[in-house]
Structure 1
Amino acid sequence: MKILVFGATGSQQFNVISEGIKKGAEVIAATSSEKSFDKLKQAGATPVLANLSDADKMMEVTKGIDAIAFMIPVSLPNPLDGLQYAKNVIDAAKENDVKKIVWNVSGWLVPQKIGIPGEDVKLDIRDYLINSGLDYVIIQPSIYMENMMGPFCAPFIKNEKKLAYPTPEIMPIGWIASRDVSAFVVEAIYNENLKADSFQISGLENLNGNDLAEQFSKGVDEKIVYYTQPAKEFGDILKPWVGEEGAAGVASYYEGLQNSTAFPPKFNPNMKEVLEKLPVKMTSLAQWAKQNKVYFLNN
């Protein structure tokens, strides 16, 4: 089995490499920068230089590939470019008889377009994939535990013993580890019965802010309290990474959440059914925090 992975240099898809190797796959990792080659080689993948915007290159790198673990970059300068990038990959996969595409959506798909380009374009990608005639599985993860490693959260844990996140304390979330998501992606590739399927996945714990801090505290053996980070503070910290416009959009979203009493679901209560089709050993929040204690407290 030859698996071509997109997004493998980032935390959301990096573990697809090791999970694929566990299954005996040969993993090829596409990257737009040769600077990532060493990291990908050390993980066990064969790196290839390929930019999603280059349709001819997509035709080249998908030759001889059995399955594609696909993801669109989450911080495109123009989110609407994501549709053309997806078309380039899907068209090449179809031309080269790739058996299956598994798409990590990097979040749950919205029910209908909501006026946020980065979310709305995913619906267009979904429709194009469904209509392509290829076998596909769509993996929709809730919110990554790794988000807490970001600059808006991790320094607060180390310096102030506060778990900072811009969601209201009362909002429950089924946090999920990126390694678990990668395992779902690989299981979906190998399950031959899945040919036109979509799964909303989350962790097994539906935690509000205080519950999150309690489980995190158990993992790191320190008392950590939850801090509902003001949306503006969150946006200001994000600016150097996503730009002023991107940060303002994200901050506006979280400000809406903080002013609301009804929250979008971020937990799948039917994970048992998902796990019957995609058997993955799930990581609890406390386990994940313990695994990453050094990062948070001694970084």
Structure 2
Amino acid sequence: MKILVFGASGSQQFNVISEGIKKGAEVVAATSSATSFEKLSQAGAKPILANMSDAKKMLEITVGIDAIAFMVPVSLPSPLEGLEYAKNVIDAAKANGVKKIVWNTSAWLLPQKIGISGEDVKLDIKDYLKNSGLDYVILEPTIYMENMMGPFCAPFVKKEKKLAYPTPEGMSIGWIASRDVSAFVVEAIYNNSLKADSFQISGLENLKGNDLAEQFSKGLGESVVYYMQPSQEFGEILKPLVGEVAAAGVTSYYESLQNTTEFPAKFNPNMHDILEKLPVQMTSLEQWAKENKTYFS
């Protein structure tokens, strides 16, 4: 099995390399920056310089590939470019007889467009993939535990013992570890019975803000309290990372959450059914915080 991974230099897809190697796969990691080569090589992948915007290059690197694990970059100058990126990969996969594509959507897809381009474009990508004729699996993860390692959260933990996040305290979330998502990606690749499937995946714990802080505190070994970060404060910190347009869209989304009492679902109570098809050893929030304790010290 030869797997081509996009986004492997980032936390969301990096562990696809190790999970694929565990299954005996040869893993090729596409990156748009040669500075990532050492990291990817050390993880056991064969790095290759390629940008998803280059349709010709996508045709070139998908020759001889059995499966593709891809996600669309978040930090695009225009989020709408994501559809073009996805089309280039999907078209190349079809042209070169790739057996399966697994798409990590980075978040649960919305039921319909809401005017936030970064989220709306994912629905267009979904339609394009479904109509491609390729075997595919769409994995929609909830909020990543690794998000707490971002500059909008980690410094607050270190300096003020506050677990900062822009979701209201009363909103329950099934936080998920990126390692678990990568394991789902690889299991989906190897499960030959999955050919046109979508899964909303979450962690097994449905935690409100104070519950999140409690489990985090247990793993950290010291007490932290939950701090609902104002959406604008969050957006300003996020802007240098993803660009002004993407940050504005995310800020708008979290602002809407902070102004409502009817929260969207971010937990799948039927995860045990999914785990029967995609057997993954799930990571608890306490376990994850314990493993990353030094990062927050």
- Partner of 2:30, secondary structure, is strand
Matches within 5 A, 1:1-299: 1-297=1-297
Deviates most, 205-214 or 229-238: 229-238
| Runs of 4 or more consecutive aligned structure 1 residues displaced over 4 Å after TM superposition | none
Q: Do the aligned residues in 1 keep the contact of 2:118 with 2:249 (CA within 8 Å)?
A: no
User: 1-side partners of 2:78 and 2:265: how far apart?
Assistant: 27
Name the amino acid aligned to 1:167: T
**TM-score of the two chains, using structure 1 as the length reference:** 0.98
User: 2-side partners of 1:139 and 1:22: how far apart?
Assistant: 20
User: 2-side partners of 1:99 and 1:192: how far apart?
Assistant: 10
User: 2-side partners of 1:83 and 1:160: how far apart?
Assistant: 40
Q: Do the aligned residues in 1 keep the contact of 2:4 with 2:67 (CA within 8 Å)?
A: yes
Q: Do the aligned residues in 1 keep the contact of 2:76 with 2:243 (CA within 8 Å)?
A: no
User: 2-side partners of 1:149 and 1:173: how far apart?
Assistant: 17
| Number of residues of Structure 1 aligned to a counterpart in Structure 2 | 297
Name the amino acid aligned to 1:134: L
Name the amino acid aligned to 1:231: S
User: 2-side partners of 1:23 and 1:227: how far apart?
Assistant: 41
Deviation at 1:239, TM superposition (A): 2.2
Name the amino acid aligned to 2:275: L
User: 2-side partners of 1:169 and 1:41: how far apart?
Assistant: 41
Give the direction of change, closer, same or farther, for the CA distance of 1:245–1:67 in structure 2 (3 Å limit): closer
Identical-residue share of aligned pairs (%): 80
Name the amino acid aligned to 2:170: I
User: 2-side partners of 1:247 and 1:60: how far apart?
Assistant: 33
Deviation at 1:244, TM superposition (A): 3.2
CA-to-partner distance for each residue in 1:179-231, whole Å, 9 max, x for gaps? Answer: 00000000000000000000000000000000000000000100011001111
Name the amino acid aligned to 2:203: G
User: 1-side partners of 2:256 and 2:195: how far apart?
Assistant: 37
User: 1-side partners of 2:243 and 2:22: how far apart?
Assistant: 38
Deviation at 1:256, TM superposition (A): 1.2
User: 1-side partners of 2:157 and 2:17: how far apart?
Assistant: 30
**TM-score of the two chains, using structure 2 as the length reference:** 0.99
Q: Do the aligned residues in 1 keep the contact of 2:75 with 2:241 (CA within 8 Å)?
A: no
Q: Do the aligned residues in 1 keep the contact of 2:257 with 2:263 (CA within 8 Å)?
A: yes
Name the amino acid aligned to 1:220: L
Deviation at 1:36, TM superposition (A): 0.7
Q: What root-mean-square deviation, in Å, do the aligned CA atoms of Structure 1 and Structure 2 show? A: 0.8
User: 2-side partners of 1:117 and 1:246: how far apart?
Assistant: 8
User: 1-side partners of 2:252 and 2:101: how far apart?
Assistant: 33
Q: Do the aligned residues in 1 keep the contact of 2:166 with 2:234 (CA within 8 Å)?
A: yes
User: Structure 2 regions of 5+ residues with no counterpart?
Assistant: none
Name the amino acid aligned to 1:53: S
User: 1-side partners of 2:12 and 2:296: how far apart?
Assistant: 19
